[in-house]
Structure 1
Amino acid sequence: GRPARDVLLRSRPPADPDREHVFSVSVYRVRNAAGRTLGLVATTVDVTARERAQARLRLLHRAREMIGRTLDVERTARELVDVTVPAFADSAVVALTDAVLQGKAPELAALNGEMLLRCAAAGSTRADHPPPPTGSTLLPALFGPKLPSSVTTLPAEGAHPGSTPYGPRLVAPLSARGQIFGAVAFERRRGGEPFTPGDVDLAKSITTRTASSLENALRFTREHIVMTSLQSWPIGQERQTQRAAEIAQRCRPGGSGAGSWFDALPLPGARVALVVGQVERPGLSAVATMSRLRTAVQALTTLDLDPHELLARLHSTVLRLAREQKSLQGSIDEPTVHCTIAIHDPVSGHLDAARAGRSLFAIVRPDGTMDAAPLPMGPLLGGDGPPFACTSLVLPEGSTVCLASPAATREQGPTRRSLAAALAHPDHGPQQMADDVQHLLAPDRVLLVARTRHLPPDEVAQWNVPPELQSAGPAREQTQTRLQEWGLDIASSTAELVVSELVTNAIRYGAPPITLRLIRGETTLTCEIDDAALTAPHPRHAKATDEGGRGLYICATLAKSWGVRYREDGKTVWAELDSRTTGPDAG
């Protein structure tokens, strides 16, 4: 009782038995006023032209997605065959010149169309007509009397070796800018439908795409593969840093190997480090230097250094890399690097930043006001060196921090007015802001947009600790109470022991004021103790008869990680416990 609408059926109608047609059929039930079924009404519409046009569009879209994905000549030829067989033809043969197969520059198109061609890829759906083997020399008859200079259709006549007849054929050159890379021959079964003018246009678009991909493969294969392997972008950072900031990252590719990079690195205490940098003088050497500097940044952030101290260490690293390159390669230009580092603390709302060079750095507050130059430009890493410009700001929740690698020249970079027009929209999310700013960047530049967050009050617990040894007991009790409220899967004895040792060490070796802070994470608990002393804590190897000296060793054993970071007015010792941590007597 349900009508069938627009059902597509394929058949060969008696009026045109040599061609398959596509019909749109709809069938409806006919009833009288009493509801009795009288019969059926069927309508049929020939939609062959529409369906074939849509099929050609789908095939062209697939060709643009599939062909040229790699910078390899033979794989590009294979991609052409995979796309067109059997969707476009029953068999396809891609032939390339010897020069192209050997990775040499392609030849200019010969006036007489005569040149040696070898099979680079072939495919066929016909069991009685196997394709030629890869690497074999192809007979000229496959492409007609001579190598075509444009897309050409050939009649269904002639014979392959072994008296195998040809079906309808379409041959097309693979050429770009007067250079010939080879040719491709498409064939349909004997008695099959001939190629139409629409098929000719489709083949021209596909072969043009293939020729362009072959040209790129020959020109950029070696350097592109090396730079691609080095210019690896971080993944999964949105998940790791989302408690501190909502991150949006963009890269505008250009293929020149500019040596730009960005990082959003999670730090202890729910903090996040935002890093954007770029090596001067693009090329393969710049990408290699960028890769080594990224590794250095990730290693240095584990030391809990301030941003300007991080830049100072990176400056020394760049100078060392320059000396190594000079000793290995002789006299070359020493690398210099633009870099901006910003560290956001979601507990206090502080943003500490330092800048080397002229990387783009802007801050948009929730009320829409924008500071396009919160830091002055500083010397390049590997150039004049420290001191680097630095600042410490307290940002309200919902502020947006925008970092981007600089353009090659000031004229290529975004103007202050265009940047303000793209960023001064606090109602836009980071992803939309990144989209608005991305088109302002020069090619091969990276962009990082972060919307700051503050931890909710119920995820942070903080107490002032009196500088007395008896204070360790109340600190343990407060820790146990807060763990029960939070419901973290952490043994209370483990957390109490770590807190007790941190508080005791701060009282004995630190200076007041002393503050204990607990930060709740999704799967972790961070215990921090602040004091006003700048003495460096270090684990001791206590003897069996010693009554003390095991505090930091206990913390390092029970905690997932621990460390210390310094401030102008003191230091913070922290320990991070995993929620899957068991009690000290679990073993």
Structure 2
Amino acid sequence: MNGHPEVPREQGSRDSPGHLGRAETVATDAEYGRRGVWDEAILEAVFAQSDVGLHVLDTHLRVVRVNAATIGLLGLQADSVVGMPAAEVYAPAGVRVDENVLREVLATGRPVIERLVTSLPPADPRSRRVFSVSVHRLQDHAGDVLGVVVTSTNVTERERAQARLRLLHSARERIGSSLDVERTARELVDVTVPSFADWAVVALTDAVLRGKEPGLQAQDTVPLLRCAAAGSAGGYLPVPEAGAILLPGLFGDDLSAKAFLLTSATEGRFAGTGVAAPLAIRGQVFGAVAFHRAAGAEPYGAEDLDLVDGMAARTVTCLENALRFTREHIVMTALQSWPLRQEQVTQRAVEVAQRHRSGGRGAGSWFDVIPLPGARVALVVGDVDHAGLSAVATMSRLRTAVNSLTTLDLDPHELLARLHATTLRLAGEQDDPSDAGVPTASCTIAVHDPVGGRLDIARAGRSLFVVVHPDGTVDTEPVDDGPLLGAEGPPFACSTHFLPEGSILCMASAAASADDGPSMSAVVNALVHPERTPETMADDVDRLLAPDRVLLVARTRHLPPSELAQWTIPFDFSEVSTARSHVETRLRQWRHPADPFTASLVASELVTNAIRYGAAPITLRLIADSAGLICEVSDAGAAAPHLRHARAVDEGGRGLLICATVAKNWGVRYADSGKTVWAEL
């Protein structure tokens, strides 16, 4: 419009669109060029310098390229393997190529990460190696699949270390499952053969095999050892018989304080490699263990010594625990067998069968059959809750207390109250009374009187108690559960029953838990057979109970009329002579060996004492035995008789002293209706 011609833009100028496109194209090409140079440099560095094995395979799983690390590890020749199938290339190195995995990566593109592959060259099986292998798919810029790249890292030492840790963990889990020295030795062999050794032998000293504590061993000598356990994988070597004497040469010339490698000179006839270790703790040698591997297997190395020391330490600790248990068991058996059985003394009242199988946790379980005055008998079962030797000590003291308290002729629930106080005193004597180990105990006491069949029961805690009558009726709860001794304390559950002759009493110590033990129906089925003996019933019930429980089975008896005489004495001093006459007449009728004068004297003094200090009614009773006589006088008074030593000028006060002098024993027991003073002649 203004006359100036329009100047066209120069094609390809900076402001023109065409110039912009060419500049970007030039920059992109340069960038790609530089990237390609970097990629090639990085690839060459990885293949030449990386210690990670690189294996490039094409889509036909043929080797395209391997790096220097692969060549060094597997002993390959790079030029000779290119183009060959991977399965053929790696077979001489003892590597099995899983082509299915490689094809799956080619097809899906999903990589395989850190898969363990073992190299075990047939020509040298001792050079076993483990590799961690990862597989990734290769693609070009267009997305076309070129092949796979396999990376491998030598993790042999890591896997060996983890295998040693797994073996040590297995040893700690499996060794020591029992308190038996020979089984502990067998467990060490089972753990190590064949995973750690082709042949293993555990030898123990004679003292250990006999359950005795080993003595201190001089450092310059090797004890005589006997084979306790041995094992061989695939018949590699014959194993010695259990108990065979193993000369010390099997474990070297002397036993080191730590595990040590066995050389060919010390191994003698063994062609492979070996390692041995003492089973010792605090200077006490329990035995030794030796492991061997066959020729051609991977030899033992210094890194295996720590593993052997760890397994030996675990084993010797279990052996020491087993010996301690054995010694405690001897003490337990001695304590639980005291006092001796009282069949001859108590058989007039009950026919008893007793059972106790040692084992389990029942170190604190006990039973007693205690004769009482008046032909009565006390049946006792108890159990200290805690296990171990301390429980045995507590049990022994409680058992002694029960035997002492029965001499006081206390009712069963009164006796348990006194026993509870004893348990509290024992707890107070511990170093830390607040400790969880404070003893508590369960105890059931049943007193049977064969005169009339009265049964008085008291129970602390819980236990098994079944009464079966002659007609087949069963009472599975003759008394309620009560508080534990040493816990809540009295009052304790108690009850009284009058049983016909021939009733069966079954008493057992408490089970480990409320759900432990046989069903009540199974126990009853073993008892409802009146024609069977208590011994047979006890065998059947014992098979139903755990070894840690004690058992008493008793059949009640009543005294026959021919062994019992009873009179009611009028409350009058003039009737004392009548009492003497009754006693003399009955002794002649019984033809009893007791001296009539002594018996009549004791009866007259007891009757006189009852009239003077007691209350009506007065009952005189004689109980005859083949060798002895029991004289009892009961009255309604509650005043306790008191033994006095009268002065020379006193006209009375010598009655009980006379009785105590001429009688074998005397005492008094109380009831709700009064008391009974008795004397044994």
> Does the 8 Å CA contact 2:454/2:499 hold for their aligned counterparts?
yes
CA shift for structure 1 position 234: 3.6
> Does the 8 Å CA contact 2:224/2:248 hold for their aligned counterparts?
no
> Does the 8 Å CA contact 1:97/1:182 hold for their aligned counterparts?
no
Alignment-mate amino acid for residue 563 of structure 2: E
In the alignment, is residue 262 of structure 1 matched against residue 367 of structure 2? yes
Structure 2 CA distance for aligned equivalents of residues 349 and 318 of structure 1: 31
> Does the 8 Å CA contact 2:208/2:323 hold for their aligned counterparts?
no
Structure 1 CA distance for aligned equivalents of residues 325 and 519 of structure 2: 33
Aligned to 1:447: 551
CA shift for structure 1 position 222: 3.8
Structure 2 CA distance for aligned equivalents of residues 97 and 278 of structure 1: 35
> Does the 8 Å CA contact 2:225/2:248 hold for their aligned counterparts?
no
In the alignment, is residue 472 of structure 1 matched against residue 576 of structure 2? yes
Aligned to 2:629: 525
SS class of match (1:339): strand
Structure 2 CA distance for aligned equivalents of residues 527 and 217 of structure 1: 54
Q: Which structure has more helix as a fraction of its residues?
A: 2
- The change in CA–CA distance for 1:96 and 1:352 in structure 2 (over 3 A counts) is closer
> Does the 8 Å CA contact 1:364/1:426 hold for their aligned counterparts?
no
In the alignment, is residue 390 of structure 1 matched against residue 494 of structure 2? yes
Structure 1 CA distance for aligned equivalents of residues 379 and 355 of structure 2: 14
Alignment-mate amino acid for residue 342 of structure 2: Q
In the alignment, is residue 310 of structure 1 matched against residue 415 of structure 2? yes
Aligned to 2:379: 274
Aligned to 1:63: none
Equivalences for residues 159-198 of structure 1 within 5 A: 181=287
CA shift for structure 1 position 218: 3.7
TM-score by length of 1: 0.64
> Does the 8 Å CA contact 2:332/2:363 hold for their aligned counterparts?
no
Alignment-mate amino acid for residue 277 of structure 1: G
Structure 2 CA distance for aligned equivalents of residues 356 and 392 of structure 1: 16
> Does the 8 Å CA contact 1:116/1:137 hold for their aligned counterparts?
no
Structure 2 CA distance for aligned equivalents of residues 371 and 474 of structure 1: 44
Aligned to 2:303: none
Alignment-mate amino acid for residue 275 of structure 1: V
Aligned to 1:287: 392
Structure 2 CA distance for aligned equivalents of residues 180 and 544 of structure 1: 74
Structure 2 CA distance for aligned equivalents of residues 372 and 420 of structure 1: 8
> Does the 8 Å CA contact 2:463/2:509 hold for their aligned counterparts?
yes
Aligned to 1:35: none
Equivalences for residues 544-563 of structure 1 within 5 A: 544-563=648-667
Tell which structure's C-alpha radius of gyration is larger.
Answer: 2
Structure 1 CA distance for aligned equivalents of residues 528 and 413 of structure 2: 28
Equivalences for residues 218-229 of structure 1 within 5 A: 218=323, 220-229=325-334
- The change in CA–CA distance for 1:96 and 1:563 in structure 2 (over 3 A counts) is closer
CA shift for structure 1 position 138: 4.2
Deviating more after overlay: 479-488 vs 385-394:
479-488
CA shift for structure 1 position 180: 9.8
> Does the 8 Å CA contact 1:244/1:454 hold for their aligned counterparts?
yes
Alignment-mate amino acid for residue 497 of structure 1: L
- The change in CA–CA distance for 1:330 and 1:340 in structure 2 (over 3 A counts) is closer
Alignment-mate amino acid for residue 555 of structure 2: R
Structure 1 CA distance for aligned equivalents of residues 444 and 345 of structure 2: 21
Aligned to 1:539: 643
> Does the 8 Å CA contact 2:225/2:247 hold for their aligned counterparts?
no
Alignment-mate amino acid for residue 320 of structure 1: R
Aligned to 2:424: 319
TM-score by length of 2: 0.55
Structure 1: runs of 5+ lacking an equivalent:
1-70, 74-93, 106-114, 122-135, 144-174, 184-212, 578-587
Structure 1 CA distance for aligned equivalents of residues 403 and 656 of structure 2: 25
Residues 360-392 of structure 1, C-alpha deviations (whole Å, 9 max, x = no match): 111000011110111111111111111111111
CA shift for structure 1 position 237: 1.4
> Does the 8 Å CA contact 2:375/2:450 hold for their aligned counterparts?
yes
Structure 1 CA distance for aligned equivalents of residues 454 and 466 of structure 2: 16
Structure 1 CA distance for aligned equivalents of residues 389 and 618 of structure 2: 51
CA shift for structure 1 position 221: 3.7
SS class of match (2:669): strand
Structure 2: runs of 5+ lacking an equivalent:
1-179, 183-202, 227-244, 253-277, 280-284, 290-317
In the alignment, is residue 497 of structure 1 matched against residue 585 of structure 2? no
Structure 2 CA distance for aligned equivalents of residues 309 and 97 of structure 1: 52
Alignment-mate amino acid for residue 268 of structure 1: P
Residues 134-191 of structure 1, C-alpha deviations (whole Å, 9 max, x = no match): xx99464999xxxxxxxxxxxxxxxxxxxxxxxxxxxxxxx99xx99579xxxxxxxx
Structure 1 CA distance for aligned equivalents of residues 510 and 330 of structure 2: 25
> Does the 8 Å CA contact 2:225/2:287 hold for their aligned counterparts?
no
**Identical counterparts, % of pairs:** 61
Structure 2 CA distance for aligned equivalents of residues 331 and 139 of structure 1: 47
Aligned to 1:250: 355
CA shift for structure 1 position 117: 5.0
Equivalences for residues 365-514 of structure 1 within 5 A: 365-514=469-618
Structure 2 CA distance for aligned equivalents of residues 545 and 180 of structure 1: 77
